Structure formats: structure tokens, C-alpha cells
Chain A
């Protein structure tokens, strides 16, 4: 990075905001204008997945609620929505876990500690943690879907006393693709939480479950009629998991999932992320199942 990365970045970022045709009336807290954050820590999680910890170059840390996302702007590459995956009670470190799949995310993967990126956010609807009060909790993650759910798991454990059984079901592609492996093991070792991990393909010395994450639901450990469920993963996985949970008796009003659509402005202006009558960036990404069930069944809306 050059001598004044923050200033340089801010200038370029303002251009992006202008390019997106944002109303001129927007003030200093312009949600289209990224703030420069420095990479404090860069960690490789899986062959194509990495986690960065960010701190603001100036100003206060960014507080967020579980399930919300930021727009991350990578100099020269572009901007992408990435969920926040840290602990909401420890906002000093802004944590994002990203899978490198294309232009921007690969550019992000090439960054290192000390590099500066632009951050806009937080945006979007959170996982409604309160909906679980007095109930059992089932959290179902598939693949990288564990990242947006991690803040929720922190929040759930922070209010453990108000909840019944807490169950985490996680499906990964292979044993080598298990994200946050150490933390998943630690959760698994807790007496107040049940954790099941399954893989689609067993490799090496894996002696755990093999099969779709939907099959873990049948193993129970929760009282379906009195359960709040939170699901994140590929859309097909979420549809089938939701169906399996409903079949077991989980109420559609206590079932939540997080949708992904391509985004540009992230504040409900551009319409890029439209999904039926909703904009995923502001009406989502977290939706209550009963409100989106019919749309979910159709493939491209």
C-alpha cells in the first residue's frame, strides 16, 4: 500500500458511490461511502476460504447484529457483500470469512496484513435471536453457510440461560472442508450444546457421519414444536432442510433462512438484489420462512 492508503482509498471509493447514482442529499454518514479498514489478521481456513480481521483506520468500531453483512471494497477489483462472522459482543475486530470464487473474492484472498479495504455497512436484517427465547434452538449450516451463522451461535450462547436445548447441525463437503474446525470442536465439547457434523464424502480417517445434513435432523435432540431454527447454506440445501424441519413439526414462523442475491448498492436503491417483492439487501438477507415459502419453491424469481 502507498503512503496514505486511507486517503487514496476514500477518494476512489467516493467515485464508486457517484457511479452508483446515489442521491446527493446523503450526508456525512453516507452509506454509499466506504470507510477504510486495515487488515489486522489474515488466516487461511480452507484451500479456498480465508478469514480477515479488520480495524477502522479512524473512528469507532462497527457494531453489528448476527446475520448482517458488509460491502467490502477491494481496490482495483470491486465490491462484494460478505457476512460478518465474528462475535457481536466484540466488535473491535470486524471479522469476515470469505470463499474465493471469482474476481473480487480472489483479489481479497491475495491481500495481507496491513492492506486497507473499504467497508460499507452493516446492512440487512439480522437473525432474530429473541425468537428463540423459551425454546430449543436448532442451527443448520451447509458449507460456507457456517460463517454467517457464527455470530448467531455466539449470541445464542450469550443468552444460553433463556434457551432450551441448543443443537448445531453442520454439513461439509469433506472432512478437510470443515470450517472453524477448532471452534466447532470446542462447541462440541460443551455440556450445554449438541453438535453434529456430517460430510458428503468421507476421506482419510473420518469416522463421523456421512450423508446430507438433512439426515441429522432426524437424529433429534430438540422438541420440534417448541424450536426456533436458523438455516444457512446453498439454496437447495436450505429448501430441503426447511422441509425436513417442517415435517418434524417446527413452526414456519420460527424458521429463518438467509438468502443470497447479487448486490450493488446494498441499501435498497438499485434493485439488483430483487427477489419477488423484496430487496434482499434491506428486507433480507434473513427471512422468515413462511413469508418466502412460495417464492423459495420457484427457482428464479
Chain B
């Protein structure tokens, strides 16, 4: 186990949390733990309880969906410094896709139940987290839309 101070430092050094004050970092660190997944491990499955989110520190994660007769299709991959998962934020808190470690993955996970409780009482923390999640969601949506356009397809 890493100490709370170590976790504080880890979070503090991460770009996703840049600009957060010590009080909020402490609150987050209280809900955080280190995780490790080997290549091939599933981090979560579609439909499962979305009780946490992940900040990737190392490795590659494939976000996938199972397609009948085709097996798993990779929708996108996430890498170092990316965040994984926001279903913990919105009821009913179910994962909408599968997430699989493509390589060894080291991550910090933050417990969604723990965070939601803190956000209930500390709205400012809620604001700071939302302000960090919304741009990430926007960026992913933009990338997904462009991907959908199939820009490099042969002209019809």
C-alpha cells in the first residue's frame, strides 16, 4: 500500500488534477488506490457496476464492444495520462463498454462511491471534478465523430 502522502504526490503530479488545492487533493487521495493489470486482463465489463474511474499511469487500454459474429471491436485506445471511465458520475452507474489492458497497465483508481459522497458535501470538489471531466468527454466525442466519418475511405 502506498501512504496517503505518496498518493497525494501521485495525484498532484498528474495533469488531470493540475490546479487542485491541497484540501481537495487530500480528499481525492482518500478515495484512491494503485492498480495493476496484466496484458489481457479486463478492467471492467459492459453492464457492470461503474464504481470507480482510472487515471492511466502506464500502458495501453482498449475500450471495446462485443459485436455478434465479430467478437470484440476496439473503439479506441487510451494511454498514459488518459482517464478511463465516467459512468461512475451518472446514474445508473453502469459501464457502457468493456475495457481491456492491451499491455501491462499501471493506474490509479478513484472509488466512485467514496467520491460521490464527498461531492455531496463538498460541492466545490464536485465542480472541480466536473470541470476536468467535461473537456475530456468533449474531446472523446469529437474524436469519435471524426472517426465515424471514415475520412480515409476510398471516394465513393
Contacts and interface: CB of A to CB of B under 8 A. Distances in A.
A229 to B, nearest CB: 18
B109 interface: no
A234 B151 contact: yes
B151 A236 contact: yes
Contacts, number: 65
Nearest to A234: B151
Contact of B77 (A99, A101, A210, A240): A210
Given A215-B143, A219-B79, A236-B146, A210 B62 contact: yes
A97 interface: no
A237 B146 contact: yes
A289 B80 CA distance: 30
Interface residues of A, number: 29
B149 A236 contact: yes
B21 interface: no
A212 interface: yes
Interface string A230-270: 00011011001000000000000000000000000000000
A295 B151 CA distance: 20
Contacts of A214: 142-143, 146
Nearest to A99: B154
B134 interface: no
Interface in B54-111: 60, 62, 73-77, 79-81, 102-103
B143 A212 contact: yes
A144 B154 CA distance: 10
A48 B151 contact: no
Interface of B: 60, 62, 73-77, 79-81, 102-103, 139, 142-143, 146-147, 149-155
